[in-house]
Amino acid sequence: MLRTHTCGELRIDNVGEEVVLTGWVQRLRDKGGMLWIDLRDRYGITQLTFEDGVTPAYLFEAARGLGREYVIRVVGKVIERYSKNDKIPTGDIEIHASKIEVLNAAKLPPFMIEDETDGGDDLRMKYRYLDLRRTPVRRNLELRHQMMRAVRAYLDEHYFIEVETPVLIKSTPEGARDFVVPSRMNPGEFYALPQSPQTFKQLLMVSGFDKYYQIVKCFRDEDLRADRQPEFTQIDCELSFVTQEDILNTFEGLIRHLFLKVKGVHIANLPRMTYADAMKYYGSDKPDTRFDMRFVELNPLVKNKGFKVFDDAELVVGINAKGAASYTRKQLDELTDFVKRPQIGATGLVYARVQEDGTVKSSVDKFYTPEDLQAWAKAFNAEPGDLILVLAGGRDKTRKALNELRLEMGERLGLRDKNVFSPLWVVDFPLLEWDEDSNRYHAMHHPFTSPKPEDLELIDDRPGDIRANAYDMVINGVEVGGGSIRIHDRRLQEQMFRLLGFSNDEAKAQFGFLMDAFEYGAPPHGGIAFGFDRLCSLFGGSDSIRDYIAFPKNNSGRDVMIDAPSPIANAQLDELHIKMKNLPA
């Protein structure tokens, strides 16, 4: 080894030892007669010291000639530091250097490689290999590593077997858009990159592997945002001979294990919430339950009072922002502008303040008596100092808008603490959702999700009312995992394909191999997949999964570091039998 110790290892007990360190020059401080260098590696920082008159002149000048990010090897003696630094683990000691060897010089980096850098996102993405030297970024990847180890340890203890599934598979029409890969050996035909290993893990159940898992790359050609990347990682799991309850208990255990091992946080048993209640009380199938502020529906209290907005609305619903009655007119106008943004889509906002004397003052006072407004306050359990915020309109659109307002108020009132974790299960999702554009049903999860057995009688007359044997895990308003009990009977699977608008030929072409497998003794089975990148960002207190991926893409799906995607040579296109059309400039 070129070193005897790392830059994060030495302590006061090492004083007097002759050591050899290697690393990068983080910072150089030259005070004329004294020179200090902070030497950094993956493990930490150690201070090197050079003193005029004590350090040989040639060595002093050599140290003075070093630049930021030079890679060096230093020989020296560990001494006790006169001015200690309690902010770093090595802050009690420093190295009195006797030899320096430059292993590699470095250009001046394009941004400061410090915890607080001056580099913007685009610049740091272009030089990601330099950004990865920064302590916060490295710690994100160390957290990811810890979580991956803890996942494998838990699943191994529960007799799961890790099986790799193919990356070059068949394109399927359901779900997100596929990334496709042309086949040179089969001209005119294409592979797809897997959106998930769904059909393969079901085939593994048919094969008798009753507990499978894989920490696996998945690919979806979607528009990007903070919590999406074109390639992402799932903890993908499947089990045979289980009920929904078995799966919930097993993977609730996994999440509790992760919180305990990685964060040192004890999580109690996860509550269950039906999809219907999540939409009714939170306007979202991934409710943030770190704070209350549940929806209260007001239709019986506000209709037929002469206020046309409420009278004409399908739903009038509101929240109680506790302690916010002191909001100024300017703040209330900001909230109104917030809900009227096109992506939220409300037409306006009604408010009511509960005054210190218990009276209620509202923006629609002229339509409602003091007794009416007291009934509002009672419905919300509102107390003096509380602010009631009300929206009205179509049911689904209004709930969606109020969910956004609820989250905004939670943020403004400091109720969305990233160090507080509130996980839950959301269950009993609809099996199908109607799509107006294609004029047919789509699977809310995927075509292999089993209906609730007690709802099967609805399949011919009221398919939209069938509940799925499906479940999502939600933490702090983020869906971190989801799955279902699968269909394992060929006849029911064929019936599901018909409901989704597949002809027999289409179903056979896309999924014939799975349907055939079901005829060879498919066991009852089900599973779940967790978004591993999302879990990492949640544990790390970040809003973006990009911070926990070593080499992420930007919001246009580009890797600006290696400049991908990029054109390929005409000779390669000819080999693949691909002819390029004129592309827009």
Instruction: Determine if residue 386 is labeled as part of a ligand binding site.
Output: no
Instruction: Determine if residue 290 is labeled as part of a ligand binding site.
Output: no
Instruction: Determine if residue 531 is labeled as part of a ligand binding site.
Output: yes
What's the half-sphere exposure (Cβ side, CA atoms, 13 Å) at 524?
10
Instruction: Determine if residue 532 is labeled as part of a ligand binding site.
Output: yes
Helix (H, G, I), strand (E, B) or coil at 382: coil
Instruction: Determine if residue 353 is labeled as part of a ligand binding site.
Output: no
338, two tokens: 């917030």
Beta-bridge partners for 387: 321, 353
d(Cα 323, Cα 387) in Å, to the nearest integer? 7
Instruction: Determine if residue 437 is labeled as part of a ligand binding site.
Output: no
Instruction: Determine if residue 534 is labeled as part of a ligand binding site.
Output: yes
d(Cα 76, Cα 95) in Å, to the nearest integer? 6
Radius of gyration of the chain, Cα coordinates, nearest whole angstrom = 30
Instruction: Determine if residue 3 is labeled as part of a ligand binding site.
Output: no
- State the helix-helix crossing angle for 275-282 and 395-412, rounded to 10 degrees: 70
Instruction: Determine if residue 440 is labeled as part of a ligand binding site.
Output: no
Q: What DSSP state is assigned to residue 52?
A: B
Instruction: Determine if residue 445 is labeled as part of a ligand binding site.
Output: yes
Give 31's contacts (C-beta < 8 A, 6+ positions apart): none
- State the helix-helix crossing angle for 504-518 and 490-499, rounded to 10 degrees: 160
Instruction: Determine if residue 145 is labeled as part of a ligand binding site.
Output: no
Instruction: Determine if residue 101 is labeled as part of a ligand binding site.
Output: no
d(Cα 250, Cα 155) in Å, to the nearest integer? 9
At 151, which helix (H) or strand (E)? helix 135-157
Q: Is 217:167 a contact under the CB 8 Å cutoff?
A: yes
d(Cα 155, Cα 157) in Å, to the nearest integer? 5
Binding-site residue numbers for ATP are 220-222, 229, 479, 531-534
Binding-site residue set: 174, 220-222, 229, 445, 479, 486, 531-534
- Name the binding residues for L-aspartate: 174, 220, 445, 486
